Amino acid sequence: MEVAEAAFATKGLAVPISEIARRAEVSTGTVSRHFPTKDALIEAVLLTVLERLGVEARALAVADGPGPAFFGFFKRLVLEGTTNKALFDTLAAAGPDSDLKSAVASAGTDLMAALGHLLVRAQQAGDARPDISVDDLSAILVGALAMQAHSSTNTPSAHLADLATDTLRAHP
């Protein structure tokens, strides 16, 4: 799983099973015994990543400083979504017409709900714009990922992530 997660993160969801097996120093048969299809392996990896991010977001929901917790986590999603090609593909495809399997879609929905809870806390503290909804947040996240993907460098830009994050801040 760890090798598959790393391979999908660097190469995206199109990385062949044979490449994952080679990196793990096992046969493709060994991978197939644990995951009968590539989709099953992708699901398992994405579920792990999305659940880990959801746990982190839920832990931040009780943190002091709701604004910094929300903005820091949103920026992390933008930066990680850019460096983790599998996560980028998943977050970018997480719309209503997505063909993601239900478990992965559910974990993505849970992550967005946790992010939405962080947003509400930041709004209640006066740190985040009051007119932002979870749907807006999802669209801004996808837009921020696209912005990063179309940057002139291959390195994720904290500056671009900050620009996206700043659009969510309450203005005096």
Residues of the chain with pLDDT under 50: 95-97
DSSP 8-class letter at 157: P
- Pull the structure tokens for residue 20: 């994952």
104/100 Cα distance (integer angstroms):
6
- Pull the structure tokens for residue 108: 């993505």
94/71 Cα distance (integer angstroms):
21
- Pull the structure tokens for residue 14: 């199109």
Q: Residue 128's beta-bridge partner residues?
A: 169
Task: Give the dihedral sign, CA 86/150/68/134.
Answer: negative
Q: Residue 169's beta-bridge partner residues?
A: 128
At 124 the pLDDT is: 96
What's the gap between Cα 128 and its chain centre?
20
- Percent helix, strand and coil across the chain, each to the nearest 5: 70, 0, 30
At 141 the pLDDT is: 85
Name the residue with tokens 């090798």: 3
46/71 Cα distance (integer angstroms):
23
Using DSSP, state whether 128 is helix, strand or coil.
Answer: strand
- 13 Cβ partners below 8 Å, 6+ apart? 42, 85, 86, 89
- 33 Cβ partners below 8 Å, 6+ apart? none
At 95 the pLDDT is: 47
